[in-house]
């Protein structure tokens, strides 16, 4: 990103892929190297975006149609980028984000049927088309990831609780996005101990850490 001195790393993947755990581990590793690091999430990261997160994950009534959902995600991201991400990057900090625009491309654009052009247009308008320096796409066997979710013992939110068919479509959309941008994405096997997965991620970021 030519306008920023910092780095933006986004963790992507389906439910149960271990994004939050690996984001925290990466932040700790970067801090140990002397980097200034912010860990954040989407939707969320700022007061306004967190308010929208509650509407998205625990929607009123019968929930949102795909178009409304995409608009809400884009609004939350616009606030997040303007108030937290860009300022941190301009201060030279690393921003580690649990999900970013490629989640909207995979969930609403792909599985939701809105198409990639609609999502990228919203992102261009709301967030200036900001792209991560690297997207870490955590992948794994569907059964193993489902077992992780069950082990959490938490009630599923409105998106986690969608059908297996929907989540397979999300996974397929992520694969297509990664295949179309091999430089921007690093596909990482998310199955194994947290430390094993962390080492794979460090390897995938080698050029940015040099």
What pLDDT, in 10s, does the model give residues 1-37?
A: 444 479 999 999 998 899 999 999 999 999 999 999 9
From residue 164, give the alpha-carbon distance in Å to each of 70, 128, 160: 21, 33, 10
For the sheet containing 7-13, what is the strand order? 37-41, 94-98, 7-13, 134-139, 185-189
From residue 25, give the alpha-carbon distance in Å to each of 28, 37, 84, 198: 5, 11, 21, 7
Q: Which residue has the tokens 């690393």?
A: 94
pLDDT tens sequence across 57-98: 999 998 999 999 999 999 999 999 999 999 999 999 999 999
- Single pTM value for the model: 0.93
- The answer to whether 74 and 126 have CB atoms below 8 angstroms apart is yes
pLDDT tens sequence across 131-160: 999 999 999 887 777 776 666 667 889 998
Give the whole-angstrom CA distance, residue 42 versus residue 122: 16
pLDDT at 1: 40
Domains and CATH numbers, the chain: 7-209 (3.40.50.300)
């Amino acid at each position: 990103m030519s306008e920023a001195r910092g780095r933006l790393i986004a963790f992507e993947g389906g439910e149960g892929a271990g994004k939050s755990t690996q984001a925290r581990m990466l932040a700790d590793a970067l801090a140990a190297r002397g980097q200034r690091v912010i860990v954040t999430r989407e939707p969320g990261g700022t007061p306004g975006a967190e308010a929208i997160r509650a509407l998205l994950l625990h929607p009123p009534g019968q929930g949102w149609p795909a178009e409304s959902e995409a608009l809400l995600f884009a609004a939350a991201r616009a606030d997040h980028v303007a108030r937290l991400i860009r300022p941190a990057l301009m201060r030279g900090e690393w921003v580690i984000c649990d999900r970013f625009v490629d989640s909207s491309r995979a969930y609403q654009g792909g599985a939701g049927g809105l198409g990639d052009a609609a999502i990228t247009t919203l992102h261009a308008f709301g967030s200036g088309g900001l792209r991560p320096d690297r997207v870490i796409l955590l992948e794994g066997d569907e059964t193993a990831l489902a077992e992780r979710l069950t082990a959490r013992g938490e009630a599923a939110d409105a998106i986690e609780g969608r059908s297996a068919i929907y989540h397979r479509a999300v996974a397929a959309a992520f694969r297509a996005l990664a295949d179309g941008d091999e430089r921007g994405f690093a596909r990482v096997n998310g199955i194994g101990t947290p430390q094993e997965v962390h080492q794979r991620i460090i390897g995938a970021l080698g050029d940015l850490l040099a």
